[in-house]
Amino acid sequence: MSTLTRPAKVATDSPARRTSPRRTGRRGAAKGLLFMMPFLIGFLLTYVVPIGYAFSQSLHEKKSSGIGFGPTKIVYAGFANFSAILSDGTFWTGMLRTLLFGAAQITVMLGVSLLLALLLDGVAARAVRFFRAGLLIPYVIPGVVSTLIWLFLYSPTASPIIDIANRAGTSVTFFGGIDTYLSLGNLLTWQGIGFNMILISASLQALPRELYEAARLDGAKEWRIAWSIKVPNITGILVLTGMFSLIGRLQLFTEPLFLRYVAPESISTDFTPMLEIFDRAFKTGDYQYAAAESLVLAVVTGVLAFVFYRVTNRKVS
Amino acid sequence: MSTIRTRAFAGAAAALSLSLALSACGGGDDTDSAAKTTKGKVQLEFWSWTEGIQQQVAVWNKEHPETQVKYVNAAGDTVYQKLRAAITSGNAPCLSKMDGMNLANFAADGLLTDITKDAAKYQDAYTTPAWNAVSPGGATYGIPTGSSPLFTAYRADLFQKYGVKAPTTWDDVIAAGKAVQKKDKNIKIFNMAGEDPSTLVDLSWQAGAQWYRIAGDHWEIGFTSPDALKAGDIVQQLVDDNLASNASYADPGVFKTWDLGKTILMTTSTWQLPIYDTNFPKSKGKWQLADAPLFDPAKPQTSSNFDVTAVLKGCKYPDRAVQFAAWLSSSKESLTALTDPASKSGLFPAVKDVSPYVDKIIPTEMFNGKSDSAQIITTAASRVGEQWQYGPDYAAMYSEMQKQWGKVMKKQLTVKEMLTHLQDWVLADLKNKGVKAVAAG
């Protein structure tokens, strides 16, 4: 195609037109900029400016004098906040806890999503639509609402599950030790399965059917097709959903914040980095340190997402 | 729209009052804390979330045309964040409801107005601990609104069933807890919520401890003083012997713990009285009140939280603001209305003489009538320890304590270890903020 059109283009190029590309280029750039304005303005106002403000805050600290009541001064502190964060045990413990928990929970969630997507790929179209919609419902429910639903189920004083177990003569607990992570993981998995399944399912449908046909001619059974043809061909989407989930986990906030209502001993105010930042900024009013913590979290998230992407992508190719 | 209009009105009022003030003292805006008298008509904004206050504001406005108060219902979890933001952006209200801890926190961040001189003439009406709560570090930043002196409520029916007597001291509580568990090991004497170290604050207050004590130009920090450790030891025994349940106060089903008789005693206060009905439907009429457990019967002390009305930074007419706040929480007219159960305020006065207001607030059908509930509440109000002080980093300390408190409840940390950590943490934090502090000797 391109080889056919190229000579024609050259032929219509008149000398008069040839002098103008710089002008049209500039006009084009101006036009392009005009089209980009809505994005640029939004991007500047909602990303660049707040991040810049947070950065400038993070370089300051609040100083009192005398007995500590009365006017305070915000003074330039250089990187004092950042060096304090580097040796802040609670912050990094929260980070590590979130990462380890996330690694386990995301693996389970994506595994279940993949399994469901593969199953759906094998059944009749009408059933597919029904199941797909059904499994998507938890994702459609706002996070706060679904957390509240589970909060009532987990509550040590109000849970019907605990009540039934007690009547049956046994006892169940949802918090303390590993239980805390299982309960939180169950909630997050319940929320995330549907959405991830839809993404995986969509990329499964995009695979050329000829591949299956060829495999069947070679005598492969359905499960063999799934494992050897389908899965290797959708690693791209698995990496992508994995990365999104990882970023989401590092910003884990709402779910533990609410579950803390019923399990304060098990979910501390520094359970995740976001909870710690929230507590710093809004409970104790230390905005400067909280801003520095936010930036460190953003950098860690960025680096991890990059590394994850590179490592998994290399494995794919 | 309405806020713009009121602001324009407030601006006009300010201009008017300024022109009047100019002729009087020829002054601009001096920043010293000398009491200045505002003349002319002014309008003040007041944020609160106590039921029934709005009606009192209306009464005030009718009687005081020269000081009109605009009530804003600021109910919500984020009110302190909103206040901080409003002060930073320069459109904060003149007055706001707060608790003692946040008043100290706001004062430490320089977000309040020093009203020591304007407020001095109202001090006599209030109890000493109430006045302490609005005067962290010695300067006054607000007017006390209400108090919640601590006393005990227990399930009289179950105490009888398990053969224990109402405890007088904390040691009695421990002994009763053990006696009850000999009869039924699932029954707890007390509850300590994993998110809420206020139990330790109350016990320390009652034991006469001083976590923060001002000594001239510096603070003395005493988390590990003998009195503080005495209070910590009671918590430790409750934990070690499994005498307390751990229902979170944020748990939607928390009140079932007592209503179903799993936990049989609690320390409680006046603000809870109006909600007994809803919270304890099954145990109605089975409760009895008693004085809060003591450490030293020779020196009976209890603790209290205080509701305060703080004067925020940027308030142009602190004298009028103080006048209104004092009327709201000390005039017979206002207190009679606010302590009426019909107002639903749950407010208990912070004034010295509470006798005219006690009887009405007691939900008689809740109690079995065997204790003199009014007497117990009056006693509690009169024996709130006067030594407790809020330090400049109290809120940050509390947040640090919250993190460790959960571990104490799970037996991963002892109370003494936590207090030792807090002692070091507070000294380091204050030093870092540029505040002078030493360990209490």
Q: Model confidence over B404-430: pLDDT tens digits? A: 999 999 999 999 999 999 999 999 999
What is the pLDDT, as a whole number, of residue A125? 65
Positive or negative, the CA dihedral B350, B356, B360, B365 is positive
What is the pLDDT, as a whole number, of residue B368? 83
Q: Give the residue among B166, B195, B168 at the shortest CA–CA distance from B265.
A: B166
The residue ranking higher by pLDDT, A221 or B229, is B229
**Do the chains contact at A156 and B247, CB–CB below 8 Å?**
yes
Instruction: Render pLDDT for A34-89 as a digit per residue (tens, 0 to 9).
Output: 888 999 999 999 999 999 999 999 999 988 888 888 888 889 999 999 999 999 99
Region A129-143: mean pLDDT is 85
If you measure CA to CA, which chain B residue comes closest to A155?
A: B251
Amino acid occupying residue B394: Y
**Do the chains contact at A262 and B248, CB–CB below 8 Å?**
yes
B250 vs A176, A261, A285: nearest CB:
A261
If you measure CA to CA, which chain B residue comes closest to A262?
A: B251
Residues in chain A with CB shorter than 8 Å from the CB of B390 are: none
Q: Distance (Å, rounded) from C-alpha B37 to C-alpha B42?
A: 12
Helix (H) or strand (E) holding B329: helix B318-330
Residues in chain A with CB shorter than 8 Å from the CB of B251 are: 155-158, 261-262
CA distance A31 to chain B (A): 38
Instruction: Render pLDDT for B304-323 as a digit per residue (tens, 0 to 9).
Output: 999 999 999 999 999 999 99
Helix (H/G/I), strand (E/B), else coil: B289: strand
Q: Give the residue among A243, A249, A215, A248 at the shortest CA–CA distance from A229.
A: A215
What is the pLDDT, as a whole number, of residue B10? 43
Q: Give the residue among B416, B386, B52 at the shortest CA–CA distance from B234.
A: B416
CA distance B314 to chain A (A): 12
Q: Which residues of A touch B (CB under 8 A)?
A: 62-72, 90, 151-152, 155-158, 176, 260-266, 268-270, 279, 282-286
B433 vs A68, A71, A283: nearest CB:
A68
Residues in chain A with CB shorter than 8 Å from the CB of B435 are: 64-68
Residue bearing tokens 């099954």 = B282
Q: Which residues pair with B144 in a beta bridge?
A: B308
The distance from CA A101 to its chain's CA centroid, rounded to whole angstroms, is 14
The residue of B399, B411, B430, B432 whose CB has the most chain A CBs within 10 angstroms, and thus the best one to mutate to test that interface, is B399
Q: Distance (Å, rounded) from C-alpha B294 to C-alpha B277?
A: 28
Kindly report the average pLDDT of chain A as a whole number.
85
CB atoms closer than 10 angstroms to residue A114: 22
> How large is the ipTM?
0.70
What is the pLDDT, as a whole number, of residue A23? 57
**Do the chains contact at B396 and A284, CB–CB below 8 Å?**
yes
B137 vs A69, A270, A283: nearest CB:
A69
- Which residues of chain B register pLDDT less than 70? 1-35
Evaluate whether B247 touches B254 at the Cβ level (below 8 Å). yes
Give pTM, 2 decimals. 0.81
Residues in chain A: 317
The residue of A157, A175, A178 whose CB has the most chain B CBs within 10 angstroms, and thus the best one to mutate to test that interface, is A157
pLDDT at A316 over 90: no
A66 vs B81, B256, B436: nearest CB:
B436
Q: What angle do CA B278, B280, B285 make, to 5 degrees?
A: 115
